[in-house]
């Protein structure tokens, strides 16, 4: 028999996939138990409710995300390097917690009004502050353009990165690091050739 902590992790992984696919409200404990190959009563041996499972899924993801983000922010990198490191850290967490990220995106708006999930609102504010400080610092230092609205830029980068949870699959064609590298290339350098490159090619 697998140790209890390992079994709990396996069940949380199953629950996360079901929540991500069907939505929290539409998911029943029986549906999670069926997906895990258990009777519903057996699932209650490990968790007292589906709310408890969701809480562990989301808090575990956010704890891991902030462990990575705090490590990046503590290094004292320049704004561009910090942005690159935050994007890379984000894709590593999407790789590790893809279903949890999808749940967070879909459900946090309604969940954060519930007392048990009040930490989601603070997590959102904390994430926003970290990204905005990086972008504002980059604009002040000349690393980033100053003609762009910082909040719009933050929302663009945030949505561009995190929406990847809807299609990214661990073990796919690109590693999280390679996916981050290509996203960063598009965000920082664009997708169009510069005029001088087009002229050079025509010549």
DSSP string covering 127-160, please? HHHHHHHHHHHHHHHTSS-SSS-HHHHHHHHHHH
Domains annotated for the chain, with CATH where assigned, are 49-202 (1.10.357.10)
**Residue position matching structure tokens 């459900």:** 107
Residues contacting residue 163 through CB under 8 Å, at least 6 positions apart: 105
**Count of all residues that appear for the chain in the document:** 203
Q: What's the mean pLDDT when you consider all of the chain? A: 91
Pairwise CA distance, residues 76 & 73, whole Å: 6
Q: What is residue 28's three-state secondary structure? A: coil
What's the pLDDT at 1? 45
Q: Per-residue pLDDT for 151 more than 50?
A: yes
* Residues of the chain above pLDDT 90, percent: 77
Give the sign of the dihedral formed by CA 181, CA 186, CA 188, CA 193. positive
Which one, of 163, 113, 153, 110, lies nearest residue 133 by Cα?
153
Q: What is the band of 202 on the pLDDT scale with cuts at 50, 70, 90?
A: low
Task: Examine the pLDDT at 128 and tell me if it is beyond 90.
Answer: yes
């Amino acid at each position: 028999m697998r140790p209890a902590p390992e079994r709990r992790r396996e069940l949380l992984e199953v629950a996360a996939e079901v929540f991500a696919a069907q939505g929290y409200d539409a998911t029943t404990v029986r549906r999670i138990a069926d997906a895990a190959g258990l009777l519903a009563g057996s699932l209650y041996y490990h968790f007292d409710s589906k709310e408890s499972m969701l809480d562990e899924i989301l808090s575990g993801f956010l704890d891991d995300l902030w462990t990575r983000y705090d490590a990046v922010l503590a290094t004292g990198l320049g704004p561009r390097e910090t942005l690159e490191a935050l994007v890379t850290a984000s894709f590593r967490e999407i790789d590790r917690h893809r279903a949890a990220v999808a749940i967070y995106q879909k459900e946090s708006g309604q969940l954060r009004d519930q007392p048990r999930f009040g930490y989601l609102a603070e997590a959102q504010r904390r994430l926003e502050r970290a990204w905005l400080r990086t972008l504002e610092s980059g604009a002040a230092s000349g690393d980033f353009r100053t003609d762009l609205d910082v909040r719009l830029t933050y929302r663009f980068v945030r949505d561009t990165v995190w929406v990847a949870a809807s299609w990214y699959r661990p073990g796919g064609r690109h590693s999280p690091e390679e996916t981050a590298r290509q996203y960063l290339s598009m965000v920082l350098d664009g997708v169009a050739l510069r005029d001088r490159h087009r002229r050079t090619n025509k010549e």
